[in-house]
Structure 1
Amino acid sequence: MKDRFEVARRIMTFVLVVQAILGFVLDWSPNHLLNPEWHGHARFHGALLLFLLTGVSGTGLWLLWRKSKEPEVAIKVAGLISFSMWTPFFYVTFLLPGSTLWAGPPANVPHIAGWVFYPNVVVAALFLAITAVAWRLPKRQS
């Protein structure tokens, strides 16, 4: 059980660190926050959310690595942070009319075998799968 917890903790550390870094690498760019076509207040909210994600991910890291009588709670919280970050990729466009998963020109949306392909949704699915594995690892076997 302890070894499984340690593996889960390391996986969740990876997830929290990478999601915080990826946010800045991918979103602090000319096709997102630095896009002159974006309204200034939209850029403000985008940057605000990047810093919020970094702070929340940092809090998750602290929970994962602090001494605790209930270390499994840290895995759950780290998982919830990750789930909260990545699941909206699958429903936000349904809740917010006019929003899109593609940051480029609409004519340049990638397709594979005739199907629309959003790379960010693939990344979200990958992070959700990794998080689900870490979430399940420490659970006792019945």
Structure 2
Amino acid sequence: MAILYYIPRLLLTLIALITIIVPYIADFNVTHVYNPEWPGHARFHNGQTMSMGVYLGSMTLWKTWSSTAEQDRLWTATVIAAAYYITQGSAYYYPGATAWDPPQEFSVPHVHLYVVIPILSLVATAYGLEQWRFAGEAGGRQKAL
């Protein structure tokens, strides 16, 4: 019967590994990232998509094999809220990626970071405030005992 306990986890692990690896097999080559016909901003979003696969696959592995705690809801919400913005920030690091394509132009380099950094700061603030609340509630319960 113990094997039945692990089958769902093993299936989710397989899905997570596929989500992490397959986008790089399919896209990190001359058909996508190194395609000379592709403009830089297309590479940017392709990079973001590949990073999203790594992020989501990694979170799937973590949630599949980690234990559950009261604060797990908060941590899960935090990593989900941050996913789009973390992977958008990572997109600049893919070969040939640019924040925009002509005729669009911005005088600020890495313009997306002006959205990514404030949003991630809000996510971190929300997480910190909720942790603070948990700590206060735990302190109140200890005093009541």
Give the TM-score normalised by the residue count of structure 1. Answer: 0.45
> Which has the bigger relative contact order, CA under 8 A and spacing at least 6?
1
The structure with the greater share of residues assigned to helix is 2
Give the TM-score normalised by the residue count of structure 2. Answer: 0.44
